[in-house]
Structure formats: C-alpha cells, structure tokens
Chain A
Amino acid sequence: MRFRLTDDQRALRAGVRQVLARHFDGEALRAAAGDGGPGGGGVGGGGVGRTVRPAGPDRALWRALGDAGFFALRLPQSDGGVGLGLPEAVLVFEEAGRALLPGPLVATHLAAGVVPGAATGEAVVTAVHGGLVEWLAEADVVRGDATGAVPLRSLDPLTPLHRVPGAASAPDPVATLLTAAEQLGTAGRVCELAAQHARAREQFGRPIGAFQAVAHLCAGMLVRTETARAAVYGAAVTADPVDVAAARLLADEAAVRGARDCLQVHGGMGFTWESEVHLHLKRAWVRTQRAGEVTESEEVLAADLWPGAP
C-alpha cells in the first residue's frame, strides 16, 4: 500500500506553494481584501459584510498560474497539457485553498481544453453552480446558463457573486472534489494559524496554548483536517462519486469548523477585518454552496448503504 505522496507529488506541492508565495503572499491577500473603505461599518456601522470590489482576478497572476500548468494540469500532453491526474490536481487546489487564492479557479481548470485560452490562463472562465456564479462580471467566458443573473452583496470580499434564477444543475463530481481540496487547504492553514497564535499569545503569564481548553480546540482542528485529507486524497485516487460526496462533507466540516475555531482562538483580534482569519471562514462558506445541498451528498452516501432505496 503506497497511499502517500510520491516524491514527484511532494515536489509539485512544494513548487506550487512557491509560485503562490511569489505571486500571492499574505500581503497581497490583505491588499486584495482592502481596508474596508472609508466609513465602512464594522459592527454597528451599518456596513457588516462590506462591498469591497476586487479588481477581478489579477490577469498577470492568472497567466502565471497558466504558465505553471495550474489549468492545463490534467490535459493530455498531446493536447499541450501537463498530463497529470486527479491526485495531482487535488494537491494543487489544496495549495490554492491554503493561500486563499481568489478567482474562478475550479471553473477555469475544468474549462481547459474546452474553452480556448483557459488552459494557458489567457481566459478567465467561470461557471454556474449551486444557483450562483462567482466572478461573472470579470470573467471572459461563463459556462452554464447565467441568463437573468443578479449581483448580490457578497459576504466574501474576495468572491463577487451573482444569483442565477432557475433550478441548480447537478454538480460535476470533479468540481466538487477540487472544491473539497480547496477546503482541505483552508482547514490545514487555519489549524496552523491557530497553533501559531496559541504558541505566541500570552495571557495569565503563559502562552494560551498551555491551557487545555485552547489546546484541545487546536487538536480537534488537526483531527478534522487529517480525516478530511484521507477522504479527499482517497476520492482523488478512486474518482468514485460516493467517495467524492464523503470527501465534500468532511472537507466542508474541516474548513468551516476549523476557521470558526481559529477565529475563537484568536479572540478579539479574530473578529477584526485586519486579521486574515475572517477571510478563510468567508471563503469556506462560499465553497460550501458550490456542490449543491449538503443533503444531496448525504443522500448519495445513504443510497450507497442500500442501493435499492429511494
């Protein structure tokens, strides 16, 4: 059994992390999120959930991602792609999730080889899923029917959203899995942030991580992350829709609960705009909407127990 990263996969992960650090570090993240703008509310200011308008996915970054093979990763080499598989794609999207990279990454990746310019990062491609479209105004191409799309004031300052009328189409399992990989990246990152803070922040004369109540919160984050990791990586190997549904549920849980616990560990600072913690939580919430209703994934998993059941 070799259910672990190969040397090539480790190198790929390290390479992607490097590229992302170069093009989109913590400073770039905070700059993208802005300072909320003048008079931009906070609690009581009437502006909770402010409307910072990101300037669209950074085109230079998008092309750099294209050059790095981010979008063409799974295209066959004969079609100018990198020729890698789902496990590699999952590792790459995990890194994107860690870095909180903005933009319709999953949709553009899935458009590679279908929409001209997607593979190279020349085109920004978005897609309708879960009754929502991310980055509609900024994208060059939208896949799915976005007729009648109405902008909404997005809770995530780094993901502009439109609501699309009509019934949501069934989510593509690969899109669901890559989103789960992004959630896994967030889960790992917020666990690290919480542990860092718990080691550094002192109250009552010692690091708060020395208090069991705080330490156990952090340990719980790690347990959820590692369990989700096994589910996500496993689903990347099998590509089985039931495994994908399981990966989605566990990765959503690890990301959302992890980000909330990270916020809690950060105390008052966690509630500020300045801290990056809220950005992880808000993005995690956005991603939970991509793969359709949670209940649908649960029904897929229930039906697997009794294939003859409704």
Chain B
Amino acid sequence: MDLSYTPEEEQFRARLREWLAKTLPALPPAPSPHDWPGRRAYDLGWQRRLYDAGYAAVHWDATPSVRLIFLEETEKAGAPYVGANFVGLLHAGPTVAAEGTDAQRSRWLPPILRGEEVWCQGFSEPEAGSDLAALRTRARRDGDEYVVTGSKIWTSHAEVADWCELLVRTDPDAQKRRGITWLALPMDAPGVTVRPLRTLTGTAEFAEVFLDEVRVPVGNRVGDENDGWRVTMVTLSFERGTAFAGEVVACRRVLGELAVEARGNGRWDDPALRRRLGRLNAEFRALWRLTQWNVSAAEASGGVPGAGGSVFKLRYSHARQELYDAAAEVLGADCLDLDRPWALDRLASLSYTIAAGTSQIQHGIIAERILGLPKGR
C-alpha cells in the first residue's frame, strides 16, 4: 500500500502545474451557459491548447496514475472542464481507437485531439433508458449505406456536434443485444433534427435527436454489423472509472467553502451542522482514497475498471447530493435564490443518481457481478 507517486509522475505534475499557471490567466472569459456556439468554441479552444502543450491524449495513452494527476491538477487550478469534448475524448474516441480500422482512426481521432470536431452520443431512446439494449432506432442496409430512422434522447451537445456515435438496430429478429450496430453519424446529414431538451435546472443541457431516413455510409460503421453492443461496452466502463476524479477534488473544495460560509453567517456554531460537514469531509476523503484504489487496480491490471467503478459511482452520486443538501442548510433561506452559489449545483446534482446507470442499475450490477447473486428483475 503506497500513496506516493514515482519521480516521473511527480515531474509530470510539476510541469503541468507550471503550464497551467502560465496558460489559465490568458484564457478568454467563459461563455454563458446558454451560448452554445460560444461554449463549443471555448471548449475546443481549451482542447487545442492542451494539444499544443502535449496533453491532448492524456485520457487515451497515459497511465491511470498520470491521468489521475491530470484530473487532480486541472481541477485544483480551476481549468475548464472537458465540456463539449467529453464524448469525443471519453466515449467515441476510445471506441474508435479500440475497435476502428486504421482509416477510421486517422479520419476521426486527430480532429478530436486537436479540438476541431465535437462528438455527441446517441444511445438512449425514449423507450430504452436503463434497458439500453431495447433500443429501437432502425438501420436498414441499402447498398453502401444504412438508412436510419428513429429518435434518441439525453444527447448532450447535439446542437453543436459534428458527429454522433449512434447505436442502431440492424437485426430486429436477433436477441436484443445481438442486433445492434455502432455508426458514426454526421450531424449535418439530411433528415437529422435536433430539439433542445430543457432540464429542471432551466437550461438545455440535453437534446432529443430525430432521425428520418438518414443515410449513413457503411464505412462509418465501427466493428461488425450486429456487434455494436460489445463495441459500446468498451466505452461505458470508461465513464464509471476515473471520470469523476476531478469532481471529487471539486467537492472537497466546495466543502471548505461551505465551512467558510457557515463561519461567516454564524451557522458554524450549530454543532449539528458542523458535524454534518465533518461527516461529509470523511465521505469525500474516503471517495478520494477509493479513486486512488481504483486507479491503482486499473494500473495493475492494465485495463479499465470493472464493477469496482459501480461502487464508486453509486457512493459518489449520493454523496454529491448530500453535499448540496448540506449547502442548502448552510445557506438557509438563501438556498432558494438561484443567484447564490450552490443553489443551481444542488439542482444539477439530482441527475447524478440517474445518468450513466441509475443507482438501482448499479446496485444490480454489484449484486450480480461482485456478490454473485442470481439475476433478478
């Protein structure tokens, strides 16, 4: 058991810190959350800076430890989030890298790394949420093209995306996981309609995507026809792995800010509140250790984390909600003022126990894959 880093890893951290200190003050001001073209330009600009400095591919080819250092340091320095680059860097890109042909890799990967193209994700459907494999968007083969009809939901950044990693049903008669295919859909293809989806936070963080007889070249298929479920699973475990490492760092910072706020408004004198914050400190310290534990396991196995990611995701998503509930107690009546810090974060935290596999789905994964309990439903 060791929590220290190698000299090479510490060197990486030192160089990154130095670069962040030099680069961040020169960034343009962050755009408004409603300004989608502005957000696209900002996020791509950040990715371009990372590319020029040699950090663009850290999610792909760095060791898990180096990746953890990157997430920790960028968060601590207040660097921009991955934003519009999320799907390209963390889902579609790794999928293409692992399963694509040489031609596909050289077509799609460099623009992701250079911050030139944005990807979105077309997986969930109105009738296929937790039961993703029940998806119904149909792709019919017509010569060298697939003709795609259906609809997708919860698609982030669809308004500004160039590409969509799309799961479609190519064999409606096969067992449901066996008839799915992975396609790269150009978002400017005729028949693609994007409708923003306003969430309970008041902003349109997601969109619905409607596909009406959209023609996609067969060359845009990654992996074999009807093998898309396996191809996709390569990326999904990424999301439950270390993707939240930076957020744990951020939550620990928020906790410190809550203590300062409570000290300022007198609520720190309430022992019940103070101890609630103390408990959250224990929680997020443990989550950071759990992150380091999972990273070490990934490093040892050379692979992406498996069901251990579900343990982290489950615990973290609830802890995040508890953090912002505690923030509401610190704020008192001000917690109802959306112009106060944390009020909006509290609303946004509600999605954490739903997105990327609900808590109920995660419990099921743990029960079946770790504890060996029989399949239920």
Please name all residues of chain B whose beta carbon is closer than 8 Å to the beta carbon of A199 when the two chains form the complex.
372-374
Provide the main secondary structure of the chain A interface: helix
B177 CB, nearest partner CB in chain A, Å: 21
**Which residue, B2, B259, B282, B308, has most C-beta atoms of chain A within 10 A?**
B282
Cβ A216 vs Cβ B1 within 8 A: no
B250 CB, nearest partner CB in chain A, Å: 15
**Which residue, B64, B278, B290, B360, has most C-beta atoms of chain A within 10 A?**
B278
Whether, in the assembled complex, B292 has its beta carbon less than 8 Å from a beta carbon of chain A, the answer is yes
Among the 9-residue stretches A68-76, A109-117, A238-246, the one with 4 or more Cβ atoms under 8 Å from chain B is A238-246
Among the 9-residue stretches B149-157, B204-212, B295-303, the one with 4 or more Cβ atoms under 8 Å from chain A is B295-303
Contact of B271 among A211, A216, A250, A295 (CB under 8 A): A295
Whether, in the assembled complex, A5 has its beta carbon less than 8 Å from a beta carbon of chain B, the answer is yes
Cβ A234 vs Cβ B311 within 8 A: no
Cβ B289 vs Cβ A3 within 8 A: yes
Cβ A1 vs Cβ B5 within 8 A: yes
Among the 9-residue stretches A20-28, A156-164, A221-229, A282-290, the one with 4 or more Cβ atoms under 8 Å from chain B is A221-229
Cβ A309 vs Cβ B292 within 8 A: no
Whether, in the assembled complex, B344 has its beta carbon less than 8 Å from a beta carbon of chain A, the answer is no
By beta carbon, the residue of chain B nearest A90 is B1
Question: 8 Å CB contacts to A: which residues of B258-281?
Answer: 258-260, 263, 268, 271, 274-275, 277-279, 281
A301 in contact with B281 given A5-B1, A211-B376, A223-B366 (CB within 8 Å) = yes
Question: 8 Å CB contacts to B: which residues of A205-242?
Answer: 206-207, 209-212, 215-216, 218-220, 222-223, 226-231, 233-234, 236-238, 242
Cβ A212 vs Cβ B278 within 8 A: no
The answer for the CA separation of A29 and B5 in the assembled complex, in Å, is: 43
Cβ A243 vs Cβ B300 within 8 A: no
Cβ A309 vs Cβ B259 within 8 A: yes
A239 CB, nearest partner CB in chain B, Å: 11
Cβ B274 vs Cβ A299 within 8 A: yes
Contact of A226 among B68, B311, B363, B368 (CB under 8 A): B311
* Interface residue range, chain B: 35 or more
Cβ B282 vs Cβ A219 within 8 A: no
Whether, in the assembled complex, A77 has its beta carbon less than 8 Å from a beta carbon of chain B, the answer is no
Whether, in the assembled complex, B314 has its beta carbon less than 8 Å from a beta carbon of chain A, the answer is yes
Contact of A3 among B9, B292, B374 (CB under 8 A): B292
Whether, in the assembled complex, A31 has its beta carbon less than 8 Å from a beta carbon of chain B, the answer is no
Whether, in the assembled complex, A9 has its beta carbon less than 8 Å from a beta carbon of chain B, the answer is yes
Please name all residues of chain A whose beta carbon is closer than 8 Å to the beta carbon of B259 when the two chains form the complex.
302, 305-306, 309
By beta carbon, the residue of chain B nearest A294 is B275
Cβ B371 vs Cβ A219 within 8 A: yes
Cβ B281 vs Cβ A9 within 8 A: no
Contact of B374 among A209, A245, A298, A309 (CB under 8 A): A209
Please name all residues of chain B whose beta carbon is closer than 8 Å to the beta carbon of A231 when the two chains form the complex.
282, 285-286, 289
Contact of B290 among A206, A226, A299 (CB under 8 A): A226
A302 in contact with B278 given A195-B373, A219-B363, A223-B366 (CB within 8 Å) = yes
Whether, in the assembled complex, A249 has its beta carbon less than 8 Å from a beta carbon of chain B, the answer is yes
Number of interface residues of A (CB under 8 A): 55
Whether, in the assembled complex, B3 has its beta carbon less than 8 Å from a beta carbon of chain A, the answer is yes
Contact of B260 among A238, A242, A247, A306 (CB under 8 A): A306
Please name all residues of chain B whose beta carbon is closer than 8 Å to the beta carbon of A3 when the two chains form the complex.
1-3, 289, 292-293, 295-296
Cβ B282 vs Cβ A245 within 8 A: yes
The answer for the CA separation of A284 and B107 in the assembled complex, in Å, is: 59
Whether, in the assembled complex, B45 has its beta carbon less than 8 Å from a beta carbon of chain A, the answer is no
Please name all residues of chain B whose beta carbon is closer than 8 Å to the beta carbon of A297 when the two chains form the complex.
278, 282
Cβ A305 vs Cβ B278 within 8 A: yes
The answer for the CA separation of A53 and B286 in the assembled complex, in Å, is: 39
Question: 8 Å CB contacts to B: which residues of A186-202?
Answer: 191, 195, 198-199
B11 CB, nearest partner CB in chain A, Å: 15
29 CB contacts below 8 A, A to B, read A1-B5, A1-B68, A2-B1, A3-B2, A3-B289, A191-B371, A210-B375, A212-B360, A212-B364, A215-B373, A215-B376, A216-B364, A219-B314, A222-B371, A223-B314, A229-B293, A233-B289, A242-B285, A250-B286, A297-B282, A298-B274, A299-B271, A299-B274, A301-B277, A301-B279, A302-B275, A303-B278, A305-B256, A306-B260
Instruction: Please give me the 8 A-B residue pairs with the lowest Cβ-Cβ distance, nearest first.
Output: A302-B278, A301-B278, A246-B282, A209-B373, A298-B275, A234-B289, A215-B367, A298-B278
